[in-house]
């Protein structure tokens, strides 16, 4: 509906003799207003750059330009307090508006119903802040902190109520209900960076007291322009200074903000942020069961090994038992004794042999070295006797027919 600064009325032009319509100035402006009202769209979008914004009597006046043309625009005070985004000089914007003709002066302007940053302006802001923070190392992979394996409590910073929060709460219950959740409602669109920063800093100061293990900054789907608030420099620095790991789940998978680059972990969506932080209950239970089975198997193998070791030690102890060692020594001594008895000269003598010694007590092993009339000593099994050699018969062996044993003379002394 076309808005005018004063009520409009349908004006019928007066005619003169020449058949040309005749208007007063007010009538002419009213006719133009009626024409615009009937022939132009009641609402429209316009892309422009904001120039010379200024507030007067609670209203925001600004010029919309594209570099080739310009038009005045106004945001009435009643509408201004409803806007989530307040443009500044040079901001690229997309305006939802309608035409407003001030009949008294025939001044045409755009009455702004809503205003949002344009994609180009958002991306320029993103690149500006990125170029500022990247040399400081805020995006460096080495400063990213590891996420807790089994967090006890998480802080969820998001709009409430919202579908994003509902999805996160449902996912948390399904995956790991043991983790406590602290929901911190925050505005997530428009010029609300300062409010988000204050919430993050407040949570950071009380993180230890609250027992927080991580912080989730989340916002559901929307256009890239809607995520412009998460490209702020102050917000990035507050996330970098947060004492606990930060996970961002902002917008859609293809959306990347400055907050995503600073965060310790970037999730594609709010739900994915919860998935990244919380273990899956069934998978963890299966892993625990498998681990328990593995431990039982290892314990069984260890006990078997220890049982075999104890049996080996018992056998060794039995082998080294004093009674066993004493018996082994006795058996060894008995074998040696029997060997000595077998090799003893007395054993040989008992078999009918004799031991012959010469006069010097040396053992006579053959006839060589003996001469007739030599004195010899003959030892038998039950005693000894002395004899004198009468004849020596050298021979080749015990089977020689010419060999005869030495005989003692008849007058030889008897054995003692």
Helix (H) or strand (E) holding 327: helix 322-343
pLDDT at 7 (0 to 100): 42
CB atoms within 10 A of CB 118: 18
For residue range 118-133, what is the model confidence (pLDDT) as tens digits? 887 788 889 999 999 9
Cα dihedral angle (289, 294, 298, 304), rounded to 10 degrees? Answer: 80
Domains located in the chain, CATH noted: 3-117 (2.40.50.140), 122-279 (3.40.50.10550), 354-416 (no CATH)
Helices (H) and strands (E) in the chain, counts: 12, 16
Q: What is the mean pLDDT of each run of 10 residues along the chain (416 residues)?
A: 44 62 87 84 89 92 90 93 84 89 86 87 88 95 95 96 94 95 92 93 96 96 85 96 96 89 96 95 89 92 93 86 85 87 76 84 84 87 87 66 42 40
Q: What is the DSSP string of 80-114?
A: HTT-S----TT-EEEEEEEEEEETTTTEEEEEEEE
* 310-327 as b/e: b if 16+ CB within 10 A: eeeeeeeeeeeeeeeeee
pLDDT at 341 (0 to 100): 77
Nearest by Cα to 156 from 215, 238, 236: 215
- Pull the structure tokens for residue 72: 């005045």
Phi-psi region of 373 (alpha: psi -120 to 50; beta: other; left: phi over 0): left
Contact between residue 153 and residue 212 where contact means Cβ atoms under 8 Å apart: yes
Report d(CA 259, CA 235) in Å as an integer.
Answer: 7
* β-pair type (70-75, 107-117): parallel
Nearest by Cα to 85 from 240, 191, 173: 191
Report d(CA 7, CA 156) in Å as an integer.
Answer: 51
Tell me the chain's radius of gyration from C-alpha atoms.
59
pLDDT at 415 (0 to 100): 39
pLDDT at 405 (0 to 100): 44
Mark out the alpha helices in 40-159 (DSSP H runs): 77-80, 119-133
pTM for the predicted model, two decimal places: 0.57
Report d(CA 250, CA 246) in Å as an integer.
Answer: 12
pLDDT at 167 (0 to 100): 95
CB atoms within 10 A of CB 237: 16
Q: What is the DSSP string of 268-285?
A: SSHHHHHHHHS--HHHHH
- Pull the structure tokens for residue 407: 């005989």
- Pull the structure tokens for residue 283: 């998978």
Nearest 5°: phi and psi at 159? Answer: -70, 140
pLDDT at 1 (0 to 100): 41
Contact between residue 391 and residue 403 where contact means Cβ atoms under 8 Å apart: no
């Amino acid at each position: 509906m076309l808005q005018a600064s004063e009520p409009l009325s349908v004006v019928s032009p007066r005619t003169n003799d020449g058949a040309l319509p005749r208007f007063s100035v007010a009538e002419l402006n009213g006719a133009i207003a009626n024409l615009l009202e009937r022939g132009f769209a009641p609402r429209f979008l316009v892309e422009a750059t904001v120039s010379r914004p200024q507030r007067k009597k609670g209203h925001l006046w600004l010029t919309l330009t594209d570099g080739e043309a310009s038009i005045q625009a106004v945001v009435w005070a009643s509408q201004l307090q409803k806007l989530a985004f307040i443009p500044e000089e040079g901001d690229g914007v997309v305006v939802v508006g309608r035409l407003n003709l001030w009949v008294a002066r025939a001044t045409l302007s755009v009455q702004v119903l809503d205003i949002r940053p344009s994609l180009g302006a958002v991306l320029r802001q993103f690149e500006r802040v990125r170029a500022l923070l990247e040399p400081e190392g805020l995006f460096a992979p080495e400063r990213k902190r590891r996420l807790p394996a089994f967090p006890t409590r998480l802080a969820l910073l998001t709009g409430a109520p919202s579908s994003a929060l509902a999805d996160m709460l449902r996912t948390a219950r399904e995956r790991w209900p043991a983790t406590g959740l602290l929901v911190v409602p925050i505005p997530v669109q428009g010029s609300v960076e300062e409010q988000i920063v204050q919430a993050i800093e407040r949570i950071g100061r009380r993180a230890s007291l609250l027992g927080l293990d991580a912080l989730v900054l989340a916002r559901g789907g929307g256009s890239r322009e809607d995520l412009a608030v998460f490209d702020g420099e102050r917000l990035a620095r507050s996330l970098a200074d947060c004492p606990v790991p930060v996970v961002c789940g902002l917008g859609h998978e293809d959306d990347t903000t400055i907050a995503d680059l600073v965060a310790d972990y970037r999730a594609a969506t709010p739900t994915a942020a919860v998935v990244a932080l919380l273990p899956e209950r069934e998978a963890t239970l299966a892993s625990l069961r498998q681990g328990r089975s593995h431990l039982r198997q290892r314990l069984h193998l260890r006990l078997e090994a220890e049982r075999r070791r104890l049996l080996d030690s018992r056998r060794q102890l039995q082998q080294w038992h004093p009674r066993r060692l004493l018996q082994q020594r006795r058996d060894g001594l008995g074998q040696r004794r029997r060997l000595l008895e077998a090799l003893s000269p007395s054993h040989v003598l008992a078999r009918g042999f004799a031991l012959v010694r010469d006069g010097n007590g040396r053992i006579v092993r053959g006839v060589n070295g003996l001469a007739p009339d030599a004195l010899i000593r003959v030892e038998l099994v039950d005693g000894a006797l002395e004899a004198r050699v009468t004849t020596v018969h050298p021979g080749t062996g015990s089977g020689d027919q010419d060999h005869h044993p030495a005989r003692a003379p008849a007058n030889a002394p008897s054995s003692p």
